[in-house]
Structure formats: C-alpha cells, structure tokens
Amino acid sequence: MAKTNDTWYPATGFYFKVEVAGITDTYDNSFKEVSGLEVEQGSKKLVEGGVNDYTWELPTQVNSGKLVLKRGLCSKKSGLIKWVEQTVATDYSKPISLKNIIVKLYNKNGKPMITWTFNDTRPIKYSVDNFDSQKNELLVETMEFRYTNYKRTYAN
C-alpha cells in the first residue's frame, strides 16, 4: 500500500465507528454496515419554445440520501431503539427529537481518517430481517434516517 503523509490508500471500509448524540452504550453504537453517504444535485428541466433538439436542465436544491445503519438485533431495549420507536410511531403531540450521528472511518492504526457528521437526523424506518428456520445467520435490524446535511472532514 502506498503511504503518503500518514494516510493510507486505498482505504478499507471495515474499520469504522458510529456515534449517536446522547447514546453512550457501546453495544448500542455497534453496527455491521453503514450506507447512504450520498448527496445529489437536483435539477429541473426547462423547455424553451422553438428549440426542439434539447431541453435545458437547471440545478435545484441538493438532495441527501438516507443514512442506513444495520446491526445484530439487540436483546434488550436500548436508548437508540427507544428514540427510533418514539420517532417512527409518533402521534406528533411532542416535537420530534433530532440527533447528530457521526461515522468515523479508521486507518489500520486505529486513528480516524475521515469523519462524516450527519446533522439533524431523524429515524424514518425500522425493520428486522425475516425469520428463517433453515438459515443459521445473525438476525439483523435496520434503521433508516433522514438528515438535513452532512459534513465530511479529514484527519490532519
């Protein structure tokens, strides 16, 4: 692997940590998979009269993806699950609690290389894998979140 100023290229995607604001239990912040680190520039088509061979495409707002966290199903009700359930099954009698979620990618020495901070996240979906008596696999719970934006920072 090439080494340049203590950064490693190419980065591996298996050594990471997730931190949810206000949730401090280690098992509650342990995930097997993180996805949805994406943004997309929106666009709007504009048809100009008399021009038949193309349409203009104008930029609009930036659209964020859904942050998806997957982990083994916890056997006890955790702080994270309480927040997810309260938000997903809300009757809107109380304000929705928004939290920041931080995902850190580590190098081989256990030092953060890249940090993604997802601002104002709110749970939008919770699911558990199907039960199957013919498989001997880890039962995985999936949590999906919407966020207003994220910031990507690099370690010095």
The dihedrals phi and psi of 87, each to the nearest 5 degrees, come to -80, -45
C-alpha dihedral sign at 33, 21, 24, 84: negative
3-state secondary structure of 82: helix
Contacts of residue 67, Cβ cutoff 8 Å, sequence gap at least 6: 34, 35, 36, 37, 101, 118, 121, 144, 145, 146, 147
Which CATH code of 3.30.230.10, 2.60.120.10, 2.30.110.20, 3.20.20.80 fits the domain covering 2-35+64-154?
A: 2.30.110.20
Render 116-130 in DSSP notation, one character per residue: EEEEEEEEEEEEEPP
Token pair for residue 10?
């190419």
pLDDT of 78: 86
Residue 29 has a CB neighbour count (10 Å cut-off) of: 19
Token pair for residue 33?
């998979």
Is the pTM for the entire model greater than 0.75?
A: yes
Residue 67 has a CB neighbour count (10 Å cut-off) of: 24
**E-strand spans in 1-156?**
2-4, 7-9, 16-20, 33-35, 39-46, 56-64, 67-72, 99-106, 112-128, 140-146, 149-154
Average pLDDT of adjacent 10-residue blocks, the chain of 156 residues? 58 90 83 92 91 90 91 85 91 92 92 94 95 92 94 87
Q: Are strands 99-106 and 56-64 parallel, antiparallel or unpaired?
A: unpaired
Going from N- to C-terminal start, the domains of the chain cover: 2-35+64-154
